[in-house]
Amino acid sequence: MLSSLVSRALAVALVCGSALCKHVELDWNIEYIQANPDGMNQRRVIGVNGKWPLPEVHVDLGDKLVIHAHNKLDEATSLHTHGFFQNGTNHYDGAAGVTECGIAPNSSYTYEMNVQQTGTYWIHSHYKAQFVDGLRTALISHAPREVYQYDDEITLMLEAWYHRPSEDVTDQLLSTSERIRTAPFLPYMLINSAGGRDLSKTKIKMEPGKTYRLRLINVSGTGMVRFGIEDHKMSIIEVDGVDTEIKVVNCMQLSAGQRVSVLVTAKESAAANYVFHADIFTDIQSGVARADLPFQGIVEYSASAPLLNTTANTTLDWEFSQDIDLVPVEKLAAPGVHKWVPLEVHTAVFDDRREHLAFNNRTYEPPTVPSLVTALTTGYQAYYPDVYGFKTNPVIIDPLEDVEVALFNLDVNSHPFHLHGHNFYIMVRGTIDRNPKNRLAAGKYPIRRDTITIPPKSYAIVRFRADNPGVWMFHCHMQFHQEQGLAMVFVEAPFLMNATLTLPAALKQNCDIMGIPTQGNAMGRSGLDLPDEHRGPFPLAGL
């Protein structure tokens, strides 16, 4: 006991600038493991230190979080701290192809960051669709004094799980054969990495009279979830790391990448147990295989109490679009508009006969040289979008510019869009037909989120201020849609990056091992020397 106090004190003295801060250091061997989380299918997953699922990570505001990641896989990997702004540490944002080359097999990289935000986050691979194979965990950042009081907290990671490796799913979706790419495949629901068809194995244990903070994190690679507990109300108090004024709901939607905290007050007696619903709505494949997959679990007060199963109070009463009505506890006025970035979202068969998704008809493919490396090594040309490559779809932003992004989802599916490095203010939502009845405008202090879900044939207008120099990815968090090209980058304040960012030697070493150049434009050449750049595929006419 004493020695642990001493080592804690030493860590404080040696590592942190501030007297209150501590050093949370994780040493992770990232490796393949066999697991059977739903009792139906043994498969290869990605775990750490011989275990899967990964441990939850808890930090306090002001801490330093250090993750030593050692890649024991047969391909590259990376770790992204989803929702952390990485202010001054863009090179630890973990987006492979954007802020690093990835961690080479048999190599290591240390992610090091100051914990500057509180709330519910998660850590996941940002290399291809790897996190769908299990390389993800909850990251909870505690405030010295939380806004709301509660007796206990429970993290619930909700996830659509596949019996096949993510690579197979990506290959299927990108097949040139329409028959193959539209063949239905249905996920199974996992809660905290367990479940499957029979969520009665998944229990949320509550004690009478207590108030719980449930931290819901949708860690799916696809699909939407609807979550509710029979005959229990939920008070929303946080979305994506932003504390909110209380909004009481029965059953809500949550999309891949999003987090919501709710307070739930337990019943006064342990006379009965209740059913919770965590239904998946899958809509990954355009036009086919849509399904509502009902999944249920048990809120258990007592192992011997009877189960009340009524389906009461679980009708969806809080949809994605209703986040615009939330009021943040910290009241910040929205930025204005200096730069307007319209983005149209399409799904189409492109001229390579594959189905891609695209912003403004450009389907993303990572450049050879990560965009951050290009920004730091091309001098004044870092200001020209072309140096980052056509297919990264870059938008260059000036320091402290107020950016308004208008997202027009012309697709028949909803999409959850995630911005790295920032959260954004949700200003307006509406439908593409501009029906005024469907227009929702924010109040005086708009809610801020880092992931926004836009329903089919709908739009949203969001704003952020460019106060965080770096290259920040913006993409659909249905990870397979990112693989199909629904991504782009914001290159924020390229001329200021040199002053605040230094690429760690280990970043360059990893690039070297994989034969990736560490300077120059998207193709590793100087200036605008990209004449033979492959720009396609392009959408076939008639989108």
Ligand X SMILES: *[C@@H]1O[C@H](CO)[C@@H](O)[C@H](O)[C@H]1NC(C)=O
Distance of CA 483 to the CA centre of its chain: 14
- Asked if residue 264 binds ligand X (CB under 6 A), the reply is no
Nearer to ligand X, 25 or 105 (CB): 105
- Asked if residue 422 binds ligand X (CB under 6 A), the reply is yes
- Asked if residue 451 binds ligand X (CB under 6 A), the reply is no
- Asked if residue 480 binds ligand X (CB under 6 A), the reply is no
- Asked if residue 227 binds ligand X (CB under 6 A), the reply is yes
Q: How far apart are CA 404 and CA 335, in angstroms?
A: 9
Distance of CA 137 to the CA centre of its chain: 11
Residue 372: partners with Cβ closer than 8 Å, 6 or more residues away:
90, 91, 98, 99, 100, 470, 471, 497, 501, 503
Segment near ligand X (CB under 6 A), from 136-144, 204-212, 318-326, 490-498? 490-498
Query: Any bridge partners for residue 298, and if so which?
Result: 203, 275
Q: How far apart are CA 275 and CA 454, in angstroms?
A: 29
Min separation Cβ 249 and ligand X, Å? 10
Residue 20: partners with Cβ closer than 8 Å, 6 or more residues away:
62
Footprint on residues 322-381 left by ligand X (CB under 6 A):
344, 360-361, 376-377, 379
**∠ Cα 85 240 449 (to 5°):** 75
Segment near ligand X (CB under 6 A), from 62-70, 349-357, 389-397, 491-499? 491-499
- Asked if residue 462 binds ligand X (CB under 6 A), the reply is no
Min separation Cβ 264 and ligand X, Å? 10
Nearer to ligand X, 232 or 525 (CB): 232
Min separation Cβ 480 and ligand X, Å? 10
Return the residue of 223, 328, 389, 524 that touches ligand X, per CB under 6 A: 223
String marking each residue 32-71 x if it binds ligand X according to CB under 6 A: ----------------------------------------
Structure tokens that stand for 46 in this block: 């990605």
Footprint on residues 125-184 left by ligand X (CB under 6 A):
158, 160
Return the residue of 478, 503, 507, 523 that touches ligand X, per CB under 6 A: 478
Buried b / exposed e along 461-488 (16+ C-beta atoms within 10 A): bbbbbbbbbbbbbbbbbbbbbbbbbbbb
- Asked if residue 256 binds ligand X (CB under 6 A), the reply is yes
Min separation Cβ 353 and ligand X, Å? 17
Q: Are 345 and 415 spatial neighbours (Cβ–Cβ below 8 Å)? A: yes
- Asked if residue 524 binds ligand X (CB under 6 A), the reply is no
Q: How far apart are CA 53 and CA 194, in angstroms?
A: 9
Min separation Cβ 6 and ligand X, Å? 33
Q: How far apart are CA 79 and CA 253, in angstroms?
A: 26
- Asked if residue 268 binds ligand X (CB under 6 A), the reply is no
- Asked if residue 541 binds ligand X (CB under 6 A), the reply is yes
Q: How far apart are CA 304 and CA 202, in angstroms?
A: 16
Return the residue of 169, 280, 326, 471 that touches ligand X, per CB under 6 A: 280
Cis peptide before 342 (omega within 30 of 0): no
Return the residue of 89, 114, 192, 313 that touches ligand X, per CB under 6 A: 313
Q: Which residue is nearest to ligand X (CB)?
A: 225
- Closest Cα partner for 352 from 534, 486, 539? 539
Q: What share of the chain is helix, strand, coil (3-state, %, to 5)?
A: 15, 40, 45
Nearer to ligand X, 22 or 481 (CB): 481
Q: Are 327 and 443 spatial neighbours (Cβ–Cβ below 8 Å)? A: yes
End-to-end CA distance of the chain, in Å?
66
What SS3 state is found at 222?
Answer: coil
Min separation Cβ 227 and ligand X, Å? 5
Residue 185: partners with Cβ closer than 8 Å, 6 or more residues away:
162, 164, 169, 172, 289
Return the residue of 495, 508, 526, 527 that touches ligand X, per CB under 6 A: 495
Min separation Cβ 358 and ligand X, Å? 8
Residue 2: partners with Cβ closer than 8 Å, 6 or more residues away:
none
Segment near ligand X (CB under 6 A), from 46-54, 62-70, 431-439, 492-500? 492-500
Nearer to ligand X, 106 or 269 (CB): 106
- Asked if residue 479 binds ligand X (CB under 6 A), the reply is no
- Asked if residue 106 binds ligand X (CB under 6 A), the reply is yes
Q: Which residues bind ligand X (CB under 6 A)?
A: 74, 85, 87, 105-106, 158, 160, 200, 218, 220, 222-227, 231-233, 253-256, 275, 278, 280-282, 296, 298, 307, 309, 312-313, 344, 360-361, 376-377, 379, 382, 416, 422, 467-468, 478, 494-495, 498, 539, 541, 543
